[in-house]
Amino acid sequence: MKLLWLQKITCNGNAHSFLNYPNLTEWMEDFEWVYHPLLPSTYSLKEIQSDIKECDILMIEGAIDREDSLFLELFYRYANEAKYILTLGTCATFGGIFAQAKDSIKGLHFDKENRLDEFGKFWQKSISLPGCPLQPQVLAGVLNAIKEGISIPLDKMHRPKYYYAYTVHNGCTRNEYFEYKIDEHRFGELEGCMFYEHGCQGTYTHNSCNKILWNSVNSKTRAGQPCMGCSEPNFPDDDLWRTKKNMGIPAKLPTGVPKRAYLSLAGVAKAFKIDRFYHPLMEDESE
């Protein structure tokens, strides 16, 4: 299976992240890099620019400037060839950080959450893989599925449901604090849920960070940092370490939860005073 990895406006984060895929060496035996910016490839960038090489899967990393005719020409040539087009990371998918620089910079099929028609003829063969960066296991998993002919259910933004039907909240080790609405979190001192004060977007961010751990070890929320919603269309939001609230009520609620129901539930849950959650869990009870 021949893979072509093209970069546009990017920090290289997705390319670097992929190098951390635990079984990269074995995995590469089944694929051929027509071109990859960091890994050994069959052709150089110059060669793929000068002539059309065969490719099965075209991967785009980075946001695309619509005024960059040189890149667009290259993209069209290979997009017409490829059986699948993968947008790697949030910039290629939704525009991300770089789209804030100028209006002509966007994701391939999206400008934040708005679907664009410019490359509409490629939409049916496109798969969106947002994340800042994209998790290596997600990319490897999708490529494996394509190679094996396994069907990949997609959501309406063409994200594979296997990975993006979940929220980052799913599997978060701080869920107990969320259940009982304990907004007592102190960085580095006390466990707790970061949804209430510290801007955690895990409850409405579609990704598998707490199911597939980063480097098989950890995730942001497990390590005590709020989820910044890096795989969401509107990433990056501003004021990432502070929860936006209206009169103390979180302005954005967990995906699909109606405000009235949430507030009723929160009112009941807050009535419990569960002592063990107000002290560091590692603290000796006799102290």
Partner 1 sequence: MIDTSKKEQKRSLIINGALKLFATKGFYATTIPQIAKFIGMSSGNLYNYFSSKELLAQEILKYISAHLAKEIRKINDSSLSSQEKIKAIVKIYFNTAQSQPEMIDFFLRVYLSNREVFRKGCEGMICVNEFVTEIMIFFDEAVAKGELKNQDFFSAFGLFMGYLGGMVFLNGEEVLNKRLDEYIDDISTNIYNALKSD
User: H or E stretch including 246?
Assistant: strand 245-246
Give the footprint of partner 1 on this chain (CB under 8 A): 245-249, 251, 259-260, 263-264, 267-268, 270-273
**Torsion angles phi and psi, residue 155, rounded to 5:** -85, -175
**C-beta of residue 278 within 8 angstroms of C-beta of residue 177:** no
Closest CA to 20 of 128, 135, 131: 135
Q: How far apart are CA 146 and CA 39, in angstroms?
A: 21
Write out 241-254 in H/E/C secondary structure: CCCCEECCEECCCC
Residue type, 33: W
Name 228's Cβ contacts closer than 8 Å, sequence gap at least 6: 199, 201, 220, 235, 236, 237, 240
How far is CA 139 from each of CA 17, 89, 180, rounded to the nearest angstrom? 10, 10, 35
Residue carrying the six token digits 């569960």: 274
Q: In this structure, how many other beta carbons lie within 10 angstroms of the beta carbon of residue 63?
A: 28
Between 246 and 286, name the residue whose CB sits nearer to partner 1. Answer: 246
Q: How far apart are CA 160 and CA 183, in angstroms?
A: 33
First to last CA, the chain: 61
β-partners of residue 124 are none
Q: Classify the C-alpha dihedral 170-107-8-25 as positive or negative.
A: positive
